[in-house]
Amino acid sequence: MRNRIYWNMGVLSVVTILLTSLITLSVSYRIYFQQIRDGIKNEAIQIENGYRHAEDPIAYLNSMDTVSEEMRITVIEPNGTVEYDSITDESTMGNHADRPEVEEAVQKGYSEQKRFSETYGKETYYYAVLMEDGKVLRIANTSDSVLGLYVRMLPVMVALSVLVLLVVLLIAARMTKKLVEPLNRLDLQNPIAKAEYEEITPLLRRLSDQNEQIERQLSMMRRRQEEFTAITENMSEGLVVLDHHLTILSVNKSAVQLLNARPGNYQNQNLLRLSRNLRIKESVENALLGKHKDEIWEEESLQVLTSPVMHDGRVKGAVLLVLDVSERMKAERSRKEFSANVSHELKTPLTSISGFAEMMEQGMVRPADMKTFAGKIHAEALHLIKLVQDIMELSKLDEGITNYAKEHVDLRRIAESVVDRLTPQAQNRKVTVTLTGDSAVVYGIRQMIEELVYNLLENAIKYNKDGGSVTIQTVPETGWAVLVVSDTGIGIPADDTERVFERFYRVDKSHSKKISGTGLGLSIVKHAAEYHKAEVKLESQLDVGTTITVRFPADAAEDER
Amino acid sequence: MRSRFDSQLENLNNELVNMGAMIETAIGNAVKALMHKDVDLAKKAVSYDAEINHKEREIEGDCLKLLLQQQPVARDLRLISSALKMITDMERVGDHASDISEIVIMLADKPYQDKLKQLPKMAEVTIQMLNDCVDAFIRKDLELANSVIKRDDEVDSLFDEEKNSLLSVIRENVDNGEVALDLLMIAKYFERIGDHATNIAEWVVFSITGEHKQ
């Protein structure tokens, strides 16, 4: 802009100087020429007068020479001979009769002529007048032509142009500075506020509008980005978005955790900085070729999914999703373990039954022993039935499906009925069962709670010493209904207290028939307690006894399910 | 011009990390094959060495190209020259991983798992050293690089212990001699890997500070 202003003003001033001087020169030349003409005419009249009245005309003319040097006076005789010339020797001059001004003067009495000498760049004005004696008086004045004048004026004009140009440029510099300064001072964020030029207001308004539009779009994008970040940061799955150079565009906290990377900002970094596990790199490179992949990494307990990101039919990047599958793998493992256990537990009594039955079939049993054998088969079958019942109970609990409705159940009442049911068993072992405490009401499923209490009490009797004792206590607390079953039994070794709630886990691993059991009792207790959101606490000392405390929330699950 | 150079340097950095990840994988696989007597994995680990060698040549070519075309100075020159040194050590680690796997294949029909003694510990320490080297390089972590250098003594003393326990294995039963010697070789490879990790760590220090320990 500055240069353009300089340039324009420079050109403008030079052109102005040239044009002005041209016009001025032309006009002044014309006036100047007019003056010369008038002067010559007057001179001619005067000289003619003088000539006419002079006694010696030539002498008169000679005397006139000194008056003006610029003027050339010539007297031409009617035959064309030059009688007198103020500048040149008359004798050397040729016949002048054919000169246009002389010819015209002879005819009309006077003549005006202008001749231009290109060699000298000068212009000669002639004025000829026919005198009374037939001679022609010619006065000539040579002056610069317009062009000659121009040429003479040129150095001055150039000097003047340069001077003017300098001044103009100086002024232009100050002016442009002054002009540009407000533009430079413009606040582009808020252009309208400080606008000094009315002329650029539309532009500034446009600018301001666009600013607002950009700001709007930016804030929208920022909001979207925030939304995206909020969603991804709160995901438990790890999410990584990569471009086709394996540069991370976005990564969430879970991904950093699951991939075991140091916490930090991995955006715009290479994938290998996040995880040097080459399997990930391979999967992502696969995705960049347009292939999906879903893998389970057993060692790391991770599920890793990679997918290409397509745009316009071309792969632009990849998305990596990392899931923690340790829970799922644990569940899978325990399911496998459970079915293996179930098969084993079912097989043992069946093998016995089949063995006894086979012996009876082969006639290897004496009739007297038949009863004993039938009793053994019966006992094994009962065990089998109990086992199947327990498994069914557990699977029902597993699925959380139950046909029973919830109701207010009094732990004390249930404990009473369970004690009644188990009294014969206790008497067999000479175990005294004591029931204490007040009524404690739980909102839950009666059958499940009955099962829980039954299993706890049955265990307390089964794993007791002969002549030992069991205490059942029901305690209503504020917000809680507590059931405490303690025995003076064999106790549980400290190493096993964690595992006794697992299915088929038995402290006595010999599978001996010393104490019959399915290994599912405490599993059922645990499930029933979980269903009612109850806490189970187990305290045990080897050879001293075990106390199991179950704390039900009093209004347990009233608003659940 | 400079931005192109910058992206080339960034690429070199990434390639070095990549090669680091490759040797971590190689040694990880070799150790796993050794511990679990997994011959298939050992065979895979042996063939993986070719890939590491290829990667070394690739990075070497990149470095030379950078040196010729960009004529780097100061820190950039340090990075490139230390890269050239590091890949040599990394490649050696890859070779040792392959050597260990080859022994695992040879020992396939001989029981050795009860004679490993200090080897699992040596494997653990050297893997961690390599891991920390690459981490130190990525994060320009001088302290971590120095800690790797210090840990070399630990590997050396573990090697001595292993040597002594293998000696007693031979004393107990001369028939165990062959297996014991093979295991001694493995121990030596781990000790060498520890040395290379130390070298790499020293070059990491050089690339950061410009000083190289002798």
Strand ranges (E), A168-326: 238-243, 248-251, 293-297, 302-311, 314-324
Chain B residues touching residue A297 (CB < 8 angstroms): none
* Superfamily for domain range A407-553: Histidine kinase-like ATPase, C-terminal domain (3.30.565.10)
Q: Which residues contact A268 (CB under 8 A, 6 or more apart)?
A: A247, A248, A249
**Inter-residue contact A325 to A296 (CB < 8 Å):** yes
Strand ranges (E), A446-512: 469-477, 480-487
Taking an 8 Å Cβ-Cβ cutoff, which residues of chain A contact chain B? 246, 270, 272-273, 276-278, 281
Structure tokens at A49: 């007068």
Report pLDDT digits (tens) over A204-233.
888 888 989 999 999 999 999 899 888 888
Of A271, A346, A333, A259, the residue nearest A303 (C-alpha): A259
Apex A19 CA angle, A14 and A25, nearest 5 = 125
Burial class (CB in 10 A: 0-12, 13-18, 19+), A500: buried
Return the residue of A nearest to B137 by Cα. Answer: A273
- Lowest mean pLDDT, pick from A62-71, A96-105, A277-286: A62-71
What pLDDT score does A560 carry? 42
Please answer yes or no on whether A276 and B24 come within 8 Å at the CB atom: yes
How many angstroms away from the CA of A267 is the closest CA of chain B? 15
Structure tokens at A445: 């499923």
Q: What are phi and psi of A185, to 5 degrees?
A: -75, -5
Chain A residues touching residue B24 (CB < 8 angstroms): 276
Q: pLDDT band for A509, please (50, 70, 90 cuts).
A: low
Radius of gyration of chain B (CA): 19
Fold agreement (A329-399, A407-553): no
Q: How far apart are CA B123 and CA B97, in angstroms?
A: 11
Report pLDDT digits (tens) over A61-92.
777 766 666 778 888 888 888 888 877 777 78
Domain ranges of chain A: 2-151, 235-324, 329-399, 407-553
Q: How far apart are CA B125 and CA A147, in angstroms?
A: 104
Of B63, B125, B123, B115, the residue nearest B88 (C-alpha): B63
Report pLDDT digits (tens) over B44-54.
888 888 999 99
Of A254, A259, A198, the residue nearest A229 (C-alpha): A254
What pLDDT score does B212 carry? 76
- Judged against a pLDDT cut of 70, whether residue A308 lies above it is answered with yes
Report pLDDT digits (tens) over B126-165.
888 988 888 888 888 889 989 988 888 888 999 888 888 8
Q: pLDDT band for A119, please (50, 70, 90 cuts).
A: low
Report pLDDT digits (tens) over A442-467.
888 888 888 888 888 888 888 888 88
What pLDDT score does A510 carry? 62
In three state form, how does the secondary structure of chain B look? CHHHHHHHHHHHHHHHHHHHHHHHHHHHHHHHHHHHCCHHHHHHHHHHHHHHHHHHHHHHHHHHHHHHHHCCCHHHHHHHHHHHHHHHHHHHHHHHHHHHHHHHHHCCCCCCHHHCCCHHHHHHHHHHHHHHHHHHHHHCCHHHHHHHHHHHHHHHHHHHHHHHHHHHHHHHCHHHHHHHHHHHHHHHHHHHHHHHHHHHHHHHHHHHHCCCCC
**Inter-residue contact A433 to A422 (CB < 8 Å):** yes
What pLDDT score does A558 carry? 47
Q: How far apart are CA A206 and CA B51, in angstroms?
A: 60
Q: How far apart are CA A483 and CA B44, in angstroms?
A: 60
Paired sense of beta strands A136-144 and A122-130, if any: antiparallel
Q: How far apart are CA A443 and CA A479, in angstroms?
A: 12
User: Does any CB of chain A come closer than 8 Å to the CB of residue B21?
Assistant: yes
Chain A residues touching residue B21 (CB < 8 angstroms): 272, 276-278, 281
Burial class (CB in 10 A: 0-12, 13-18, 19+), A86: buried
**Inter-residue contact A474 to A412 (CB < 8 Å):** yes
Please answer yes or no on whether B134 and A277 come within 8 Å at the CB atom: no
Q: Please compute the mean of the pLDDT values over residues B34-53 and round it to a whole number.
A: 88
For A144: left if phi > 0, alpha if psi spans -120 to 50, otherwise beta; the answer is beta
Task: Just give the CATH number of A329-399.
Answer: 1.10.287.130
**Inter-residue contact A236 to A280 (CB < 8 Å):** no
Report pLDDT digits (tens) over A362-420.
888 888 888 888 888 888 888 888 888 888 877 777 776 666 778 888 889 889 988 88
Among B14, B32, B48, most A C-beta atoms within 10 A, so best to mutate, is: B14
Domain made up of A235-324: CATH architecture:
2-Layer Sandwich (3.30)
- Judged against a pLDDT cut of 60, whether residue B120 lies above it is answered with yes
Return the residue of A nearest to B26 by Cα. Answer: A278
- Judged against a pLDDT cut of 60, whether residue A511 lies above it is answered with no
Report pLDDT digits (tens) over B67-116.
888 888 888 888 888 888 889 999 999 999 999 999 888 888 887 777 77
Give the one of B13, B14, B21 whose C-beta lies nearest to A278's C-beta: B21
Torsion of CA A523, A527, A528, A534, to 10 degrees: 110
Give the one of A270, A277, A278 whose C-beta lies nearest to B14's C-beta: A270
- What is the identity of the amino acid at A122? K
What pLDDT score does A557 carry? 45
How many angstroms away from the CA of A234 is the closest CA of chain B? 27
Q: Please compute the mean of the pLDDT values over residues B165-182 and round it to a whole number.
A: 84
Between the ranges A141-145, A207-211, B170-174, where is the mean pLDDT highest? A207-211
- What is the identity of the amino acid at A434? T
Q: How far apart are CA A417 and CA A329, in angstroms?
A: 41
Q: Please compute the mean of the pLDDT values over residues A518-539 and round it to a whole number.
A: 84
The helix or strand, by DSSP H or E, that contains position A348, with its residue range, turns out to be: helix A326-361
Return the residue of A nearest to B12 by Cα. Answer: A270
Please answer yes or no on whether A272 and B22 come within 8 Å at the CB atom: no
**Inter-residue contact B162 to B187 (CB < 8 Å):** yes
How many angstroms away from the CA of B139 is the closest CA of chain A? 9
- Tokens 């340790």 sit on residue: A326
Q: pLDDT band for A120, please (50, 70, 90 cuts).
A: low
Q: How far apart are CA A159 and CA A232, in angstroms?
A: 78
Domains in chain B and their CATH numbers? Answer: 2-209 (1.20.58.220)
Task: Just give the CATH number of A2-151.
Answer: 3.30.450.20
Please answer yes or no on whether B138 and A273 come within 8 Å at the CB atom: yes
Looking at chain A, the whole-number percentage of residues with pLDDT higher than 70 is: 94
Cβ contacts below 8 Å, chain A against chain B, sum to 21
Structure tokens at B104: 């695992």
Q: How far apart are CA A395 and CA A523, in angstroms?
A: 11
Chain A residues touching residue B17 (CB < 8 angstroms): 270, 272-273, 276
Q: H helices within A234-264, ranges in order?
A: 253-258
Give the one of B22, B134, B138 whose C-beta lies nearest to A278's C-beta: B22
Q: How far is CA A358 from CA A364, A377, A384, A390, A520, in A?
A: 9, 11, 18, 28, 30
Looking at chain A, the whole-number percentage of residues with pLDDT higher than 90 is: 5
